[in-house]
Amino acid sequence: MDNRIDKPDDLQERGFLDRIGNRILALVGTTFLLGTVGVTILFTQDLERTILSQHERSLNILTETVGSGLQTIMQSGSAEIAESYVEDIKQVKDLSQIRILRTDGREAFIDNETILHVNKLMGGEVYSNRDVITGTTSSPSELEKIRLAVEKKQNQTLSTTHPENGDAQLTVFYPIPNLEECMSCHGEDHAVRGILEVTTSMQQAKEEISAMRTRIILVQLGALLLILTIIFKRIHHYVVKPIERLNQSMQAMTDGAIEQKADVEGSSEFRMMAVCFNKMSSELARTHSGLQDERDKLTTIILSAKEGIIVTDKNEQIVLVNPSAERLLGKDMDEICQSGFRNILNDPEHLAAIMKKDVQSVPDIIVFNSRMLQIQATTIFSNDQEMVGSAALIRDVTQEKELERELRHLSNTDALTGLFNRRRFDMVLDEEYRRAKRYNLMLGLLLFDVDHFKKFNDTYGHDQGDRVLQAIGKVMNCHFRDIDHPCRYGGEEFCAVLPSTGLEGVEIAAERLREKIEEMRVDELQVTISIGVAIYPDSGSKNPEQLLKMADDALYQAKEKGRNQVRFAPTAKKKKKNS
């Protein structure tokens, strides 16, 4: 017998992630990678904010320095030097633009407005007019920052994008205070004389940030690879190898090597797993051996059983047919399997009705192939009410039923006359009386015995008496209808129960029986009988015993009146005379 177990497809062809070591590595790598990415993002963002903040502080310091220098030059009264100073500052590397603005955002030093105002305050033509040139216009966002710088008297910063190359820019708006030394030339109307606007490109800072981010990522990746390599080697040595050895033992067990043992090595956990596996293997081997023995026994029982056995799986496919089932059904195994479980009796509806019965009910008995078969069929369910399969048990009870019928016949029949015996008479009288009472039917009862029967026995012997009784039994079997119940009451007494029969019918049956027996000869001997008749409900009886007592009283009257006659119970007789 082949004990091999087919391997699942996922054990026959395994992908990269089907191996536990690769799964652990992938899990750890993914975790570290996610953690590294998160740390890198947070770190680079913080670094970017720090660099930008430093750049902004540096630009503010530079702007304030330029503003202080410019203010010193202006206080000395050298406006022309101030313009040169601004032009020299513009040549500083990384400074995109330097402008001196009025408080309303217009560029200064390009017209004569300020010169005219100062000359007016000074009371003469202190400064000469210059040629007017066109300056740049401030944007709305710049105007807003200028307004804030004037109001708060604090530096304001603005991040913008270069309109041509798209580089990021940072602009600082420095409010130039109107000091007391400056009021003689510019007046006292405003606390802020103007705005120094300094713009620098942020491209270098962005490049530094990008380079720093790249270095951080490379360092993190290197560290990640190093950590994963170390973790993989440790996991492979301490986890993967023990699991693979245990897995190899388990696969060998699925291939049929039930007594396979695992190597007891490694850490305490895997050592314990190996010990448990070896115990399980030993126990499984013992269980398998015991099941094999039980299977052999069960196979022997099923194949040698006289009862037919048919079993299906959960899909109603027949999986077992023993030789007795083939013999009892008159079909071979292939024919039974092809026709299906529901057609084993050639009557699917009848089998379905059998299977719907309670399992405790009496099994059905049918006639099949000239045999009386006892059928038990049921559907089997698991504990969670899932169908497991169906089973049928077939027994040949032909001889049992024939014997049962013979025993029943013997228990209800008088051996000498072939009529029903006293036991059967009591049952029939009770049943028919109740039926007549329930459905308001007529019921006739005849009770008679042989006249001078003792004389037959004394004169001719008991054998002759038995022959007389046998002859009467034959007459009674031929005389009464199929629905009537002729019985031997005891000794030479006989009786007959006539269902659904009234006064007239009972009278005819009784008289004809008396006449037939009178005409009969037994070994040239004449036999006569006396008959007592009682009829329900005419007799007024209350129960079967009372009806029998009335018939017995009528029989006694027939004997007193001379025998060989029919007498009715008093109530019935009175009705007869009235008619």
State pLDDT tens for residues 305-332: 788 888 888 888 888 888 888 888 888 8
pLDDT of residue 4: 43
Give the integer Cα–Cα distance in Å for 544 and 71. 146
Q: Taking all residues of the chain, what is their mean pLDDT, rounded to a whole number?
A: 79
Sign of the four-CA dihedral 383, 384, 389, 391: positive
DSSP bridge pairs for 531: 448, 566
**553, pLDDT greater than 90:** yes
CATH topology of domain 413-578: Alpha-Beta Plaits (3.30.70)
- Contact between 200 and 169 (Cβ < 8 Å): yes
Contacts of 530 (CB under 8 A, 6+ apart): 448, 449, 451, 555, 558, 559, 563, 564, 565, 567
Rounded mean pLDDT of 437-450? 95
pLDDT of residue 180: 63
Contacts of 192 (CB under 8 A, 6+ apart): 103, 149, 150, 153, 175, 176, 177, 178
Rounded mean pLDDT of 486-503? 94
- End-to-end Cα separation, the chain, in angstroms: 91
pLDDT of residue 536: 94
| Range among 95-99, 291-295, 418-422, 568-572 with highest mean pLDDT value | 418-422
Pairing of the two strands 192-201 and 371-381: unpaired
Per the listing, tokens 């062809």 go with 13
DSSP assignment letter at 168: E
Rounded mean pLDDT of 547-552? 95
pLDDT digits (tens, 9 = 90+) for 169-188: 888 888 888 766 665 566 56
pLDDT of residue 426: 93
**362, pLDDT greater than 60:** no
Rounded mean pLDDT of 243-263? 70
Query: In the CATH scheme, what is the code of domain 306-402?
Result: 3.30.450.20
Residue type, 218: L
- Contact between 363 and 282 (Cβ < 8 Å): no
pLDDT of residue 443: 95
> H or E stretch including 159?
strand 156-161
* Phi/psi of residue 306, nearest 5 degrees: -75, -25
Contacts of 273 (CB under 8 A, 6+ apart): 242, 246, 262
pLDDT of residue 31: 79
Phi-psi region at 497: left, alpha or beta (left = phi > 0; alpha = psi -120 to 50) = beta
- Contact between 309 and 377 (Cβ < 8 Å): no
Give the integer Cα–Cα distance in Å for 225 and 48. 26
pLDDT digits (tens, 9 = 90+) for 120-144: 666 556 565 665 666 677 788 888 8
Assessment of whether the complete model's pTM goes beyond 0.75:
no
pLDDT of residue 117: 63
pLDDT of residue 441: 94
- Contact between 134 and 33 (Cβ < 8 Å): no
Give the integer Cα–Cα distance in Å for 429 and 237. 95
**153, pLDDT greater than 80:** yes
Instruction: Compare 541 and 220 and report the one with higher pLDDT.
Output: 541
Contacts of 396 (CB under 8 A, 6+ apart): 306, 328, 371, 372, 373, 374
pLDDT band at 219 (very low <50, low <70, confident <90, very high): confident
Quick one: how far is CA 86 from the chain centroid? Answer: 85
pLDDT digits (tens, 9 = 90+) for 377-411: 888 888 888 888 888 888 887 777 777 777 777 77
The residue among 110, 91, 107 whose CA lies nearest residue 99 is 107
Domain boundaries, the chain: 306-402, 413-578
3-state secondary structure of 505: helix
pLDDT of residue 508: 95
Instruction: Compare 84 and 488 and report the one with higher pLDDT.
Output: 488
DSSP 231-290: HHHHHIIIIIHHHHHHHHHHHHHHTT-TT------SSHHHHHHHHHHHHHHHHHHHHHHH
Quick one: how far is CA 320 from the chain centroid? Answer: 29
What percentage of the chain exceeds 90 in pLDDT? 22
- Contact between 195 and 175 (Cβ < 8 Å): yes
